[in-house]
């Protein structure tokens, strides 16, 4: 059974990168301390014997929900693009994805 490890400052820096958040050194210290305390509290579940217990991902027994394949109006493209930070030629415009700006 996997054991709960103690979260480190490096772990917090790693998950911040994965979540695309930039943290200052001070924030790293604060968040590491706070997350460690929350995860320590969650250790009560570690003592439980859960080997034969199935997981619940959803409280309501769901199967694939199908609907008739009918053409119907969707959101108006111009209205959606009007809410975007930048749009061009009917598409969302973003800065260069690779390398430096031209």
Partner 1 sequence: MSAADVPAGDTALGIAAAVRSGTRSAVEVVEEHLTAIAARDGELNAFNLVTADQARQAALAIDERVAAGEDPGPLAGVPVALKDNLCTRGVPTTCSSRILEGWRPPYDATVVERLVAAGAVVVGKTNLDEFAMGSSTENSAFGPTRNPHDPSRVPGGSSGGSAAAVAAGFAPVSLGSDTGGSIRQPAALCGVVGVKPTYGAVSRYGLVAFASSLDQVGPFARTVADAAAVLEVIGGHDPRDSTSIPRPAPSLVAELEAGVQGLRVGLVTELCEGEGIEPGVAARVDDAAAALEAAGATVDKVSVPAAVHGLSAYYLIAPAEASSNLARYDGVRYGLRVDAPTTGEMYDRTRTEGFGAEVKRRIMLGTYALSAGYYEAFYGKAQKVRTLIIRDFEAAYEQFDVLLSPTSPTTAFPLGAKTADPLAMYMNDVCTVPSSLAGHPAISVPFGTDESGLPVGVQVMAPALGEPVMFRVAAALEAAAPGRG
Helix (H, G, I), strand (E, B) or coil at 91: strand
By CB under 8 A, residue 6 contacts partner 1: no
Element (H, E) at 52: none
Query: Which conformational region is residue 99 in: left (phi greater than 0), alpha (psi within -120 to 50 degrees), or beta?
Result: left
State both tokens at 15: 């998950």
Strand ranges in 6-89 using DSSP code E only, listed in sequence order: 87-88
Say how many residues touch partner 1, by CB under 8 A: 59
With CB under 8 A as the contact rule, the residue among 67, 69, 71, 88 that binds partner 1 is 67
By CB under 8 A, residue 90 contacts partner 1: no
Which parts of this chain interact with partner 1 (CB under 8 A)? 1-5, 7, 11-12, 14-16, 18-23, 31, 34-35, 37-39, 41-46, 48, 50, 53-60, 62, 65, 67, 75-76, 79-80, 83-86, 92, 94-101
């Amino acid at each position: 059974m996997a054991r709960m490890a103690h979260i480190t400052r490096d772990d917090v820096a790693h998950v911040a990168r994965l979540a695309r958040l930039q943290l200052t050194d001070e924030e790293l210290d604060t968040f590491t301390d706070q997350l460690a305390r929350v995860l320590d509290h969650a250790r009560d579940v570690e003592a439980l014997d859960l080997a034969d217990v199935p997981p619940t991902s959803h409280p309501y027994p769901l199967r694939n929900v199908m609907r008739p394949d009918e053409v119907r109006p969707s959101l108006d493209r111009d209205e959606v693009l009007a809410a975007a930070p930048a749009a061009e030629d009917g598409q969302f415009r973003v800065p260069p994805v690779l390398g430096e700006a031209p």
